[in-house]
């Protein structure tokens, strides 16, 4: 058996690259599952696709049917029509315990920009449910993802990792925006972009009692859906300048290839807005706002992803003890999972080997009793016990080696060798 994850390294890959590899709609994801099963019929698969990460988990009963990193890269390339050279160097692969540990750390938000952010476990659950709905899961991925959800719950209950401001939106608004505005009930919030980051930010701002919400997005349909979800209004992309002039709070999450707002564009907008205080949170990577926009006048308060990361690092440093406790839980759960996982592979072979050798023992004892009828029942029992001890001693080294290899990692090589040596091939 085998489990692996292939993922786009969100620490090095540009947001634009991750967006090109993402599965942004339910229909696209269903098509991807169909295409993946056609290409790799021996694999179970779960895709985790969010605004920050694109990860593909596979599991196989037969390790030889496991797709390679290059094969999965070609799948991404052909499905999304993205050249391999644009992302191949950012595509990482982990197998066995490392893949399991990676998923557990993601589910526990140990791999997130904001330590302990709660939405990631919901995204993991939704990804798992979507895979089940598409019949892409199987017994191995079911156990894997149920384990991830269990580990996340344990970390949240046994550590303080999730206390305080823990989501990107809560840090952004709580640490930055509240330094500018005492309350949000009379404020107009403009969100540029309509992805998951925008949705999460709006959710937090709504909990702060924000007054009016305006969404501007290149896709009018997606913008209208997001605005409707939060009781706001959507405006077309060509009305962005007017929306910028009206806004008190601007949250930009487009991740365009270059800034969409520079000083030349923003200067006239500020005159139209009478230079009232405006808080701008630029969550684009690369930036949506030219950094010089923050110097247009003294009432422009521009914060970008670098400012947010600095706050997140302080958050992480303050919780270093909780990180250690969480990682200890993940390590414990990973070891337990791998023991159970490989027992599924080694257990039946061990049982079958014992059964076959002891079946031979019984047959030989029957022959021996017929030939040596003068033996007393006590003698027969003594001979049988002696043969049983010999068998157990002969079986002990290979079975111990198999168990040890299963604990250390994948036991596939030794498992295959034992099957051939002892005639246990299916």
Residue 306: φ, ψ to 5°: -65, -40
Contact 104, 330 (CB under 8 A): yes
The dihedrals phi and psi of 216, each to the nearest 5 degrees, come to -120, 125
d(CA 149, CA 162): 15
| Nearest residue to 51 (alpha-carbon basis) of 200, 240, 237 | 200
Which residues are registered as beta bridge partners of 4? 58, 95
In this structure, what token pair is assigned to residue 294? 């923050």
Host H or E run for residue 309: helix 305-318
For residue 51, indicate whether it is catalytic. Answer: yes
State residue 300 phi and psi, 5-degree precision: -100, 120
**Helices vs strands, H then E, count in the chain:** 15, 10
The tokens for 379 are 């003698």
Kindly state the DSSP code that residue 152 receives in the 8-state scheme: H
Give the active site residue among 51, 108, 137, 312: 51
- In the chain, what is the straight-line distance between the N-terminal and C-terminal CA atoms, in Å? 15
Residue 112 makes CB contacts below 8 A (sequence gap 6+) with: 52, 106, 120
Answer whether 38's CB lies under 8 Å from 136's CB.
no
Sheet order of strands, 278-282 included: 233-235, 212-216, 188-192, 249-252, 278-282, 300-304
**Would you say 47 and 29 are in contact if contact means Cβ atoms under 8 Å apart?**
yes
DSSP state of 298: T
CA distance 124 to 342: 24
As annotated, the active-site residues are: 51
């Amino acid at each position: 058996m085998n489990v692996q994850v292939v993922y786009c390294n969100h620490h090095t890959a540009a947001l634009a690259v991750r967006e090109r590899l993402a599965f942004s709609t339910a229909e696209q994801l269903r098509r991807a599952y169909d295409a993946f099963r056609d290409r790799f019929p021996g694999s179970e698969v779960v895709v985790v696709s969010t605004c920050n990460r694109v990860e593909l988990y596979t599991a196989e009963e037969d390790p030889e049917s496991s797709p390679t990193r290059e094969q999965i890269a070609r799948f991404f390339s052909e499905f999304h029509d993205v050249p391999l050279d644009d992302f191949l160097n950012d595509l990482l692969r982990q197998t066995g315990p490392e893949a399991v540990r990676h998923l557990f750390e993601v589910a526990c938000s140990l791999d997130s920009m904001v330590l302990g952010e709660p939405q990631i476990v919901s995204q993991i659950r939704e990804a798992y449910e979507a895979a089940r709905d598409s019949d892409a899961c199987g017994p191995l991925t079911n156990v894997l993802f149920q384990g991830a959800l269990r580990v996340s719950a344990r970390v949240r209950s046994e550590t303080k990792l999730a206390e305080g401001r823990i989501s990107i939106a809560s840090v952004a608004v709580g640490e930055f925006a509240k330094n500018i505005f005492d309350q949000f009930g009379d404020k107009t919030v403009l969100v540029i972009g309509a992805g998951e980051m925008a949705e999460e930010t709006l959710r937090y701002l709504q909990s702060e009692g924000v007054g009016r919400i305006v969404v501007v997005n290149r896709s009018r349909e997606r913008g209208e859906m997001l605005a409707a979800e939060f009781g706001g209004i959507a405006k077309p992309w060509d009305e962005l300048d007017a929306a910028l002039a009206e806004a008190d709070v601007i949250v930009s999450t487009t991740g365009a290839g270059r800034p969409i707002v520079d000083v030349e564009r923003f200067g006239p907008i500020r005159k139209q807005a009478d230079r009232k205080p405006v808080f701008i949170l630029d969550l684009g990577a690369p930036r949506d706002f030219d950094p010089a926009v923050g110097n247009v006048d003294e009432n422009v308060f521009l914060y970008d992803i670098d400012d947010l990361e600095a706050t997140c690092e302080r958050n992480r440093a303050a919780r270093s003890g909780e990180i250690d406790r969480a990682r200890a839980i993940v390590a414990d759960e990973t070891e337990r999972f791998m023991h159970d996982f490989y027992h599924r592979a080694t257990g039946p072979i061990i049982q079958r080997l014992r059964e076959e050798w002891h079946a031979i023992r019984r047959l030989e004892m029957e022959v021996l009793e017929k030939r040596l009828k003068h033996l007393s029942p006590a003698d027969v029992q003594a001979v049988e016990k002696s043969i049983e001890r010999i068998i157990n001693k002969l079986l002990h080294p290979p079975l111990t080696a198999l168990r040890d290899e299963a604990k250390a990692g994948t036991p596939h090589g030794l498992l295959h060798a034992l099957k051939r040596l002892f005639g246990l091939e299916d």
